[in-house]
Amino acid sequence: MSRHRAPSPVTRRGALVAGAAWVVGAAAASSGLTGRWSTGTAPTALPSEALAAAQVPSAPASPAAPSPSPSSAPPSVAEVETTAAFDRTAHSTTEASSPWVVVNKRHPIDPLDYEPPKLVAVAGERVAAQAAPDLEALLARSRDDGVALTLVSGFRTYSYQQQVHRRSVARNGQAGADRYSARAGHSEHQTGLAVDFSSADGRATLSPRFAQTDEGLWLAEHAGSHGWLLRYTEADQAVTGYNAEPWHFRWVGVELVAAMVAAGAPTLEQFFGTSGGPDYA
């Protein structure tokens, strides 16, 4: 039996670093850059717009996540070149079909009733075709590691998201609903690029406890190496505008995950300098 052993808990940033390690490692092979992320890296300065979003007065103070002690060494030339070589304009951040589209409370999907041009069924859910290969690879690797991942949500239409949000408002009130569920036209699920994972036993489905399950821990460590980003963390609440969702992952591709790690930017908003936060535009 090769039952998966849960890795020791890791920090959000540490998890992303671990997840992208093979990508960075592959790039490092040619640049002579090795072991850079295993020691932790101080975040670079954030774009001012993202900082402004992080300082929205109504936002709760974001508790500082425990993070590896930052390296005091200045970045080497190789590091600077690696970061500078990444073209942040290679894909649009506003077109709904772009792998890098940023969707949040300030940036609705355009058009509001958008549907991906091609949807593919993976493990019982539909996702945008471009996200499917990395999702299938992630699920296959989880099976190899003895982790029982399942999908509980993929693409959602505008009208379905309306129902989801209305139910949440009925249960939690508008303010409460807005912390957990996106209004229609503002959900990453509508792009077909986001999925919600659970475990086969379903014991922590859509629960904060998912973070501590074998499946949640495995995802936090490995999703990044298949291009999937843990989108909503407690530490990033003021930027993303949502409570932590350890089950919600967004496909952006392995290159962008690696570039975000290299830039020390844990969110799409910070990496691209896009506004976000808890308030709808």
* Of residues 184-203, those binding Zn ion (CB under 5 A): 196
Closest-CB residue for Zn ion? 248
**Coil/strand/helix, residue 249:** strand
Q: Is 50 helix (H, G, I), strand (E, B) or coil?
A: helix
Stretch that binds Zn ion, among 143-151, 158-166, 198-206, 240-248 (CB under 5 A): 240-248
Cβ neighbours for 45, distance < 8 A, ≥ 6 positions apart: none
Q: Name the one range near Zn ion by CB under 5 A: 24-32, 74-82, 172-180, 247-255.
A: 247-255
> Which 3 state secondary structure label does DSSP give 142?
helix
Nearer to Zn ion, 142 or 153 (CB): 153
Min dist CB 196 to Zn ion, Å, is 4
CA 259 to CA 39: how far, in whole Å?
17
Which CB, 222 or 248, lies closer to Zn ion? Answer: 248
In the complex, minimum distance from the CB of residue 245 to Zn ion, in angstroms, rounded to a whole number: 6
> By C-beta, is 36 or 189 nearer to Zn ion?
189
Nearer to Zn ion, 164 or 257 (CB): 164
Rounded to whole angstroms, how far apart are CA atoms 94 and 251? 15
User: What are 81's two structure tokens?
Assistant: 């070149």
* Minimum distance of Zn ion from residue 59's CB (angstroms): 21
Q: How far is the CB of 35 from Zn ion (least distance, A)?
A: 34
Amino acid at 101: V
The amino acid at residue 142 is S
Contact 274, 268 (CB under 8 A): yes
8 A C-beta contact, residue 250 and residue 155: no
Query: Which 256-275 positions form the footprint of Zn ion (CB under 5 A)?
Result: none
Helix-helix angle 12-19:21-31, to 10 degrees: 50
> d(Cα 21, Cα 44) in Å, to the nearest integer?
19
Shortest distance, position 10 Cβ to Zn ion, whole Å: 21
- Which CB atom, from 15 or from 258, has the smaller least distance to Zn ion? 15
Q: Which residues touch 92 (CB under 8 Å, ≥6 apart)?
A: 98, 100, 101
Beta carbon nearer to Zn ion, 186 or 248: 248
* Contacting residue, 248, 253, 260, 261, with Zn ion by CB under 5 A: 248
Nearer CB in complex with Zn ion: 181/275: 181
- Quote the least distance from Cβ 244 to Zn ion, whole Å: 12
Taking the complex as a whole, the smallest distance from the CB of residue 74 to Zn ion amounts, in Å, to 39
Residues that bind Zn ion in the complex, under the rule CB under 5 A: 196, 248
